[in-house]
Amino acid sequence: MSAPGSATELRSGKGANDENFPVASHLIHPKNRGAILAFYDFVRAGDDVADHAELSPERKLALLDGLADALTGAGPSDPEAEPLKRELAARGLPPRHALELLDAFRMDARKTRYADWDELIHYCRYSAMPVGRYVLDVHGEDPARVWAASDAICAALQIVNHLQDCGKDFRALDRVYLPQDTLDRHGATVAMLGADKASPQLRAVVRELAERTLGLLDDGKVLPDLIDDLRLSLEIAAIHRLAVILARGLLDRDPLSEKVHHGKVGFALTALGGIAATLARRPFRGRIVRAAPHGKVFP
């Protein structure tokens, strides 16, 4: 069988509605949803390349380079890149955030293990943080005010997904995002990810990482109050509340044998709680913004 000639041929069929967290829900103003969905579709194409089990690392890198060149105009046009290219041009936005996501997928093509938490956060800097930054930029929010809190939330969302999918990632792709030093600290091994049920040692690893993830979510909890656009503020509040519930669930649940993610009804109720809390604080937003600490923005 010949190697696929384009990213389009490798599409998994997974879409925005299949993600663990909302992507441009109807809380987002229609004028901005198209730009966010175009970004998602481009990134999805790259992710499908990186996650393809039968492609060599070299072929993945070549296809990812092709997507980057199509987006920047350095290479031939690609149908996966054109919608986002048009949106960026219409808004006068650079391709930086999308290109950084492609850098994360290049990491996935080359790298399957992480030594420690800092190395994992470095991966999140490229695999997750650009998503939040792009959405904020589309809405015209002030990066100096909102990027740091957004980075913390986006990293947390990424790690929640890693923890939920740790068994599947290992079995399907031999990819392990659980840091090696955390595994060692609890006497766990990578091989334990292939079991039907997590060992006590592996459960301890997941619990420690879930606690650290809750710390990230605490760092980012002020973000909805820092955002000017009310609809985006409510979207992020809903996502943040869902992430907190899922991270807390990982303190006690076994991701190898138990379902961690909530169904649609559970998500809706959780999201409504986040929205209601944010609306209740909105009259005091000015005071909250003035008191908000400045967090670390990753370069």
Task: Name residues whose C-beta falls within 8 Å of residue 88's C-beta, 6 or more positions apart in sequence.
Answer: 94, 95
The Cα 22–Cα 19 span in angstroms is 7
Inter-residue contact 258 to 171 (CB < 8 Å): no
Tell me: pLDDT of 176 over 50. Answer: yes
Q: What pLDDT sits at residue 23?
A: 64
Instruction: Kindly report the average pLDDT of the chain as a whole number.
Output: 87
d(CA 183, CA 208): 10
- Overall average pLDDT of the 58-86 stretch: 96
pLDDT for the residue numbered 18: 47
Domains and CATH numbers, the chain: 27-95 (no CATH), 111-299 (1.10.600.10)
Report the range of poorest mean pLDDT among 9-23, 33-47, 67-81, 270-284: 9-23
Per-residue confidence (pLDDT) for residue 268, from 0 to 100: 56
Residue 6 CB-density burial (10 A; 0-12 exposed, 13-18 middle, 19+ buried): middle
245/68 Cα distance (integer angstroms)? 36
**pLDDT (tens digit, 9 = 90+) per residue, 235-256?**
899 899 889 999 999 999 999 9
